[in-house]
Chain A
């Protein structure tokens, strides 16, 4: 007679198979290709570390990987600063039309990348809304061209694009935060700062971490926004990988850069988990202590 555990195992099998076939297998193929070489259009399946040596010794690829991580961290941090109070307002202060607020938050995601990018061009462009206003108000004589096609513009649009992912995670965390805990803390004489530091932040940190990771990973993988908004400085490690897979037909080197990026992201996330796990509030979050 099958136990519940056996039945559970059998039911989980399709999910495991989908994960292996759809996620692990392509990554494994990518990893294997990173040890090959290319000769014109032939892939030479003789294992070598040359591609990894090329990645490690190239200031360009190293710098592009560094830039991607820095952009991911920056946008995740900005999203957290904006998203935290926003999620709190929606969860704790909006009593009517809460669903409408959440829908409003998600509307940008319904429109697709390109629509959002071109909308931002209308806002930030030399003849765009902001420049037109500044000139109309007499604040500037010439349009500020750095508003568009600059790293600044890229980070503004990336933050706009991925803010909903941060807010959703935080909103769920705030919804499950029991207000009685805050009342009890106040009754016991805790200041608002102490309540935030000792209760609110630890209990909402799962949402903060989940949202932050989501934003970080999405920003690192986004190359369309930097390409179309970042101007001549809009090159990313992903667009470099794209060039190698497409134009140059150097799949092995492209695979090596992609694998290196994945490895670095994995190490960063593991290190972050380790640091969080060692902190008091981290243990409280993870272990329920």
Chain B
């Protein structure tokens, strides 16, 4: 009897163990379910339908708050806002700011299986890393090209249109951003990519001279992409260093738009996802699941059509139609070789001072 009881108990235990093993993979889900992950990001990246599959599969809730600029995000975290967020979206070139301020924790890539699918460019980049550890994992990327009114320009422009000639004087616009403004002047002047972020006094003086000449040709410096889209639509501006969205938005509205990717180089950008230093325990597990989802196929597909933007991983590439691959620059990945990825110049304060001197000239 006693033996039978023990045997029954043993059987129960074995069955229970087997059952637990069978649902093992779901244990993480059970732990993560109900967790709320606070994500500080750009508004267009956290649409409900982009995140629906995550919520359905894991039960994790996403609490969204939005940034207007990378600088604003950094300032918020520096001022003590890190405790209120679990996931942030810094630019790849800005991650070192956060790391130097001890605001981030290294990511456990073993818990982010989709990280293995990162494109080589993002796997090998030194940006976002310190001492071999990844702090900001490349998340999505794109280029900032020249967008122009093809109906109002004779030919596809290159960077020289912003520095030479009178034909489009007063109809050009440049983004009000020191880093990109100086990068473009450097590309126009033929300064090689590997020296672009480490300009000496002589090069900076040449850049300043070129930018002062550029200012005379500009209608304005734009500060928001919605504003630039309006400027194209109203004909105030016919050509600008831009982001991609006005090209698609205005083409969809029937305007003949063009997008130029100058041979001298195109500015590539990449945003990362990173976890603040104070996130631990079950919250950290849930946040890592969100990170993995954001690098995975469900999210990638939504982003490819909704953005349209490319993920930093190949998770969804082959499932996309070729024209969509073309649209987000992943059909021919060798195109990335011509990109100049934004980095953080050591003398950036001087770059900003120079930019202000140009604007005030």
Contact = CB atoms under 8 A, between A and B. Distances in A.
Interface of A: 38, 40-42, 58, 60, 63-64, 118, 121, 125-127, 145, 148-149, 227-228, 230-232, 234-235, 240, 243-250, 253
B355 interface: yes
A127 B232 CA distance: 12
A228 B223 contact: yes
A231 B74 contact: no
Contacts of B236: 125-127, 148-149
A149 B352 contact: no
Given A127-B235, A249-B97, A249-B349, 6 more contacts: A126-B236, A127-B236, A227-B221, A228-B227, A235-B356, A250-B352
Contacts of B223: 227-228
B235 A126 contact: yes
Contacts of A253: 349
Contacts of A58: 353
B8 interface: no
Contact of A145 (B97, B170, B230): B170
A232 B349 contact: no
A248 B348 contact: yes
Contacts of B218: 231-232
Contacts of B357: 60
Given A228-B223, A235-B359, A249 B74 contact: yes
B100 interface: yes
> What band does the interface of chain B fall in when counting residues whose beta carbon is under 8 Å from A?
35 or more
Contacts of A240: 356, 360
A63 B101 CA distance: 34
B234 interface: yes
Contacts of B219: 145, 149, 231-232
B243 to A, nearest CB: 17
A247 B352 contact: yes
A234 B221 contact: yes
Nearest to A63: B360
A245 B74 CA distance: 11
Given A60-B356, A246-B75, A249-B74, A232 B221 contact: yes
Contacts of B272: none
Interface string B333-361: 00000000000000011011101110110
B235 A247 contact: no
Contacts of A121: 230, 234
A125 B230 CA distance: 11
A112 to B, nearest CB: 15
Contacts of B359: 232, 235
10 contacts: A42-B100, A60-B353, A145-B219, A149-B219, A227-B176, A235-B359, A243-B356, A246-B69, A248-B348, A248-B349
B349 A38 contact: yes
Given A60-B356, A149-B236, A245 B227 contact: no
In the A-B complex, list the 7 residue pairs whose CB atoms are closest, starting with the nearest.
A246-B71, A235-B359, A248-B352, A232-B218, A231-B220, A60-B357, A240-B356
A171 B352 CA distance: 45
A245 B218 CA distance: 26
A232 B212 CA distance: 11
Contacts of B154: none
A118 B226 CA distance: 12
B100 A40 contact: yes
* Most-contacted residue by chain A among B177, B234, B356 (CB, 10 A): B356
B191 interface: no
Contacts of A231: 218-221
A250 B349 contact: yes
B229 to A, nearest CB: 12
B215 interface: yes
A246 B235 CA distance: 31
B179 A247 contact: yes
A123 to B, nearest CB: 12
Given A240-B356, A247-B71, A248-B348, A125 B234 contact: yes
Contacts of A125: 234, 236
Nearest to B74: A249
A247 to B, nearest CB: 5
B221 A127 contact: no
A178 to B, nearest CB: 50
A40 B97 CA distance: 8
Contacts of A149: 219-220, 236
Interface in B303-361: 348-349, 351-353, 355-357, 359-360
A93 B75 CA distance: 53
Contacts of B189: none
A244 to B, nearest CB: 7
Contacts of B71: 246-247, 249
Given A127-B235, A244-B352, A246-B72, A60 B100 contact: no
Nearest to B224: A228
Contacts of B179: 247
Nearest to A250: B349
